[in-house]
Amino acid sequence: MQEKTILGHPKGLFVLFFTELWERFSYYGMRAILVLYLTAETTDAINPGLGWTSKEALALYGWYGLLVYFTGIFGGAIADNWLGQKKSVLLGGIFIVFGQFALAVENMTAFYGGLFLLICGVGLLKPNISTMVGSLYKKGDARRDAGFTIFYIGINIGAVLAPLIVGYYGEKVDWHLGFSLAGFGMIFGQLVYIFGRKYLTGVGDLLKHSDEHAHLMKQPLTKTEKDRMVVMFISFLIVMVFWAAYEQAGGLMNLYARDKINRVVMGYEIPTSFFQSLHALYVVILGAPMAYFWVRWRKKGKESSSIFKMGVGSIIMSLGFVALMGAAYQLSEGALEKAPVYWLFLSYFLHVVAELSLSPVALSFITKLAPLKYASLMMGTYFAVTGLGNKLAGILGEAAQDAGEMAIFTGIAVCTLVLGLLVLVFVKKLKALTHGAEDVLVS
Ligand code: GLN
């Protein structure tokens, strides 16, 4: 039977695309106002907050950033063993809706309860929806990487819109209205998912209770599967360092943009917060051209394994920090009070080119390599590792307060460069460990 497609991809991809777009809208919308809400004065006549210090607020933000992704491990395990991915995504979405609306209630128990629900909800939803994208494609289907890039563009459309809508209404009108809007975003996502489920037949179901599943769970891992696990764990190291570098955006780079970059362009001062949407905006613009570039690259017969792209991503990330070193160097010369803004645009641009070489690629890679019985668990572990990267980013940002920005920028540039080069040197060996998991069978 001929599969029904949109843009050459299964229709189910677009159900997952819009579900995840709204989930990310909800996630990034809430994230955009969380610290601002925590630190706003309790005495503010128009929009009072909780009156926390910046340090307290950033500490909570750091822990939230870690836990919200770390719970992916449990979300993955729950899907593999009890619920299957499809039901886990639905349940996660319900938790998120209740979590956002709990934040909208002015009460501290509701606030902490809301955060707890969000942490559980994202842990259930995020890894499992990503695994489901992979399940839309058969083994060896050449469209899988492109499918993940499309999915990734959806994520970032949500991330561009959220700070503009939730951020605006939350900050300028009422924090609680902002959290409610984030909740409504997730309701849209749930509706798309529920009404689109007919396009997800056979995707994300639990095999358990079937003889096939019982047999599968009892089987020890084969040598090939073990090798693939090894190469996945090596890639997780690159991923952790990558996100520790990337997530400087919300912390250190944000403060750097505010205090040390001349943001005036043609007489207009670009607000610091604008740079927080820049990553996502660049992803939406560059996602398709980058995917096209890699397809052409592969057609030319050049090295294009996922692990190679991840190494390249790490090196490009390093260049992004070299750009920031350029800004810090110019400032250290003493002639300028603030560094030119082009360094920041260039740095963010390079971060996103790096992100597109690594992040959707890593998602796709895991769905190709993970043994079936650990499919969701491995995806959950990937997100847990990104959570550790987020936390490490916070620690590095704090260290910069004593060591100075130049030292941290240089340190990150060197680490990502060395890691990327090591990958390129050992790419053949690493690829051998995948035992042909990336070979394209259908084109
Ligand atoms: N920005 C991407 C998203 O929100 C990646 C996040 C991550 O992997 N930690 O999905």
pLDDT of 442 higher than 70: no
Instruction: Give the tens place of pLDDT for each residue, 56-103.
Output: 888 898 899 999 999 999 999 999 989 999 999 999 999 999 999 999
The per-residue pLDDT for range 425-438, each reduced to its tens digit, is: 999 999 999 998 88
Using 50, 70 and 90 to split pLDDT, how confident is the model at 2? Answer: low
Q: What is the pLDDT of residue 87?
A: 96
Q: Which atom number of ligand 1 is nearest to the Cα of residue 387?
A: 9
Pair 179, 30: CB distance under 8 Å: yes
| pLDDT at position 111 | 96
Query: Ligand 1 atom closest to Cα of 24?
Result: 4
Whether residue 34 is predicted with pLDDT greater than 50 in this model: the reply is yes
- β partners of residue 262: 340
Q: Atom 3 of ligand 1 has which residue's CA nearest to it?
A: 155
- What is the C-alpha separation between 391 and 67, in angstroms, rounded? 9
Q: How far apart are alpha carbons 334 and 435 in whole angstroms?
A: 55
Atom of ligand 1 nearest to the CA of 280: 1
pLDDT at position 210: 66
DSSP string, 399-418: HHHHH-HHHHHHHHHHHHHH
Residue with the bigger pLDDT between 390 and 3: it is 390
Mean confidence (pLDDT) of the chain: 91
Q: Pick the more confident residue, 95 or 45.
A: 95
| 333 has pLDDT over 90 | no
For position 209, what pLDDT does the model report? 63
How far does the centroid of ligand 1 lie from the alpha carbon of residue 47, in Å? 30
Query: Average pLDDT in the 48-59 region?
Result: 87
Q: Which atom of ligand 1 is nearest to the CA of 28?
A: 4
Please tell me if the CB atom of residue 386 comes closer than 6 angstroms to any atom of ligand 1: yes
Distance from C-alpha of 13 to C-alpha of 439, rounded to nearest angstrom: 22
Pairwise pLDDT comparison (88 vs 304), residue with the higher score? 88
Query: Which mutation among 155, 160, 276, 279 tests ligand 1's pocket best, with the greatest number of atoms within 8 A of CB?
Result: 155
- The pTM for the full model equals 0.91
Among 211-215, 399-403, 410-414, whose mean pLDDT is lowest? 211-215
69 lines ligand 1 (CB under 6 A): yes
Domains belonging to the chain, first-starting first, are: 9-201+221-433 (1.20.1250.20)
**Range picked from 88-92, 158-162, 291-295 for highest mean pLDDT:** 88-92
Spatial distance between the Cα atoms of 81 and 96, rounded to a whole number of angstroms = 22
CB atoms within 10 A of CB 276: 20
Residue 222 confidence (pLDDT) above 70: yes
Does ligand 1 lie within 6 Å of residue 155's CB atom?
yes
Give pLDDT tens digits for 340-366: 999 999 999 999 999 999 999 999 999
Regarding the beta carbon of 24 and ligand 1, being less than 6 Å apart is answered: yes
- Three-state SS across 207-260? CCCCHHHHHHHHCCCCHHHHHHHHHHHHHHHHHHHHHHHHHHHHCHHHHHHHHH
Is residue 347 lining ligand 1, measured as CB closer than 6 Å? no
Q: Which two tokens stand for residue 297?
A: 């690259």
pLDDT of residue 1: 47
